[in-house]
Each structure stands twice: as structure tokens, then as C-alpha cells.
Amino acid sequence: MNNDPQDAKLIERIQKNPKYTELVTKRSSFAWKLSITVLIIYYSFILVVAFAPKFLGTKIMEGSVISIGIPIGAGIILSAFLLTGIYVRRANSEFDDLTQQIKEETK
């Protein structure tokens, strides 16, 4: 690890920048919200599997071979893609903009 005093001063300047604090706070808060959303979706499904498995085996309509569990499972997978896309979109706009502003201010 490099113990260059200039690096230490640069790190200190970055950490003292109010935009850095804003970036860390916003990114962390958003990541936690998305993580909790994913956990709620997955654990809700597991709870249904554990306590109401017949519900997932219910046919969508009479004579159908597709049970209600199939679209619910597909929805869970799609929700993971959607939430990932939401994070990437925000990261590529708001978070990257803040990062760029921090870089410009610490030059």
C-alpha cells in the first residue's frame, strides 16, 4: 500500500466534500431500500411455499395446465431484473454525476 502524503491529503479532501457525504448517503440509502424490497419479495414467496403450497398449485383457469405458481415465479425473476435496472439507471445518472462533480472539485 502506498503511504504517499499527497494521496492522504486527496482522500481527506474528498471525504470532507459535502457532495461526497451526499453521494455516500444517497447511494447507501437507495441500495438498502432495493435490498429490502428484494428480501420482501423473495421471503414472501418462501412463506407462501411453506404455509400455503396448495395456493401455488391452483390452476389459473379450469382445464389449464398452468398453475398460479408459474406466473408468480416469473414475476419474481422479472422483479429482480427490474430492480437491477432501476439501480443501474440511477447509478449511471445521479450517482455518476455526483462522482464527476467531486472529481472536478478535488482537482
Entry field: residues in the chain:
107
Q: Mean pLDDT, to the nearest integer, of 59-82?
A: 95
Tell me, what DSSP letter sits at residue 85?
H
Q: Is the pLDDT of residue 1 over 90?
A: no
Q: Is the pLDDT of residue 3 over 80?
A: no
What's the rounded Cα separation, in Å, for the pair 48 and 53?
Answer: 6
Q: Mean pLDDT, to the nearest integer, of 76-90?
A: 96
Q: Mean pLDDT, to the nearest integer, of 15-44?
A: 95
Please give the pLDDT value at position 8: 86
Total structural domains within the chain: 1
Say if residues 95 and 25 touch (Cβ distance below 8 Å). no
Q: Is the pLDDT of residue 43 over 90?
A: yes
Tell me, what DSSP letter sits at residue 62?
T
Name the band, by pLDDT with cuts 50, 70 and 90, for residue 77: very high
C-alpha cell at 60: 389459473
**Domain assignment of residue 39, given as a range:** 34-107
What's the rounded Cα separation, in Å, for the pair 32 and 39?
Answer: 10
- Residue 28 in any domain: the answer is no
User: Higher-confidence residue: 31 or 10?
Assistant: 31
Please give the pLDDT value at position 2: 60
**Residue range 84-105, pLDDT digits in tens:** 999 999 999 999 999 999 999 8
